[in-house]
């Protein structure tokens, strides 16, 4: 099955700095790559996603980049704010599959 590696597991940044979280995947046929944010005591919520025919997607302060050749994708958060503090999960959906395989998560702390 699909194997998803996510790094780092924890990340601390100063408010206003950028944060980058990276994920690698094993199945070259995978075609959908979402990122979820989980706040304390809540369920994960989709923040951005990218499909395999797109290299980059931006939504205000967040962006995702995809390198299909290297089989990795990254989440970029610019001008971080305290409310960005949460656990972030990457996920991958393989071609012909219904399921999402999640990375183990990154705990982001934004220090005021």
Q: Which residues bind other proteins (CB under 8 A)?
A: 1, 6, 9, 31-32, 34, 36, 41-46, 49, 51-52, 89, 93, 95-105
CB nearer to other proteins: pick between 71 and 78:
71
Of 18, 19, 22, the residue nearest 8 (C-alpha): 22
75-90: b (≥16 Cβ within 10 Å) or e? bbbeebeeebbbbbbb
Supply the minimum distance, in Å, between the C-beta of residue 79 and other proteins: 25
Backbone angles phi, psi at 32, to 5 degrees: -145, 130
CB nearer to other proteins: pick between 15 and 59:
59
CB nearer to other proteins: pick between 9 and 28:
9
Supply the minimum distance, in Å, between the C-beta of residue 31 and other proteins: 5
SS3 content of the chain, % helix, strand, coil (to 5): 5, 55, 40
Residues in the chain, total: 112
CB nearer to other proteins: pick between 3 and 67:
3
């Amino acid at each position: 099955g699909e194997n998803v590696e996510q790094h780092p597991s924890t990340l601390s940044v100063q408010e206003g700095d950028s944060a980058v979280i990276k994920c690698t995947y094993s199945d070259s046929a995978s075609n959908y790559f979402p990122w979820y944010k989980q706040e304390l005591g809540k369920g994960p919520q989709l923040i951005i996603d990218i499909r395999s025919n797109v290299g980059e997607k931006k939504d205000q302060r967040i962006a995702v980049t995809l390198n299909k050749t290297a089989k990795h994708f990254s989440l970029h958060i610019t001008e971080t704010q305290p409310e960005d503090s949460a656990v972030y999960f990457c996920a991958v959906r393989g071609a012909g599959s219904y399921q999402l395989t999640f990375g183990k998560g990154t705990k982001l702390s934004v220090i005021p």
